[in-house]
Amino acid sequence: MIALLGAAAVYGLSAGFSPGPLLALVISQSVRYGVREGAKAAMAPLVTDLPIILLSVAILRPLADSRAVLGLISMAGGLFVLYLASGCLRATRLDLVELGQAPRSLGKGAAVNALNPHPYLFWLTVGGPAVLGAWSEGPARAVAFVAVFSACIVGAKLLVAVVAGRSGRLLSGTAYGVVMRALGLALIVFALLLFRDGLALTGLLAHS
């Protein structure tokens, strides 16, 4: 359970802090209109992720008995997590850019997140299989994974909203780079675990 929740936390924090369209919107709204508007944009994953999760689980559930397919999905997830890790390792600073967005921050954030391919890729290749695996050991474990991931991704973006609204210069300092490098290294570990599980499921690696 601890490993499952730890993975959810790392995935959520890395997604929350990584540069992308939603984070740019959070920063822009915070700088231009204050922390409250940035916080509204930060809440977008709570609106958009549940339908994406349900869609991903519905697609993956019929494949649950096919070890080879699940193995390939796990390795695809490993590649995607490595891609996320490379983004974290390269993100040494975060430039503050005003995007000229008006208020209605939650709606704009939801639209930005729903049109971003990353949530779909994550839940289809990483999050969805984790939820299904956790569900097989008890629904509470699956709910806990989603809850911790959601709390971390939204919490990270809320923190960015507060910092950007009060002192945006902190986001361009060395602390941000240190945090992102640590998250990048953690993601590499989880990517290797996904590769290991994928190879075991496909029979290319003896499962111990």
Distances (CA, A) of 67 to 55, 73, 106, 148, 199: 20, 10, 40, 27, 10
pLDDT tens per residue across span 121-144:
889 889 999 999 899 899 999 999
The residue among 114 and 208 whose pLDDT is bigger is 114
Domains of the chain by residue range: 2-194
Percentage of the chain modeled with pLDDT above 90: 28
Q: What is the mean pLDDT of residues 158-186?
A: 76
H-type helices in the chain, by residue range?
Answer: 2-17, 21-33, 35-42, 44-60, 67-90, 105-114, 117-122, 128-136, 139-167, 174-201
Q: Which of 7, 17, 67, 4 is nearest to 179 (CA)?
A: 17
Mean pLDDT of the chain: 83
Distances (CA, A) of 167 to 129, 159, 177: 39, 12, 17
Which of 30-34, 70-74, 89-93 is the most confident on average? 70-74
Q: What pTM does this model have?
A: 0.75
pLDDT at 101 over 70: no
Q: Which residue has the tokens 């000229």?
A: 100
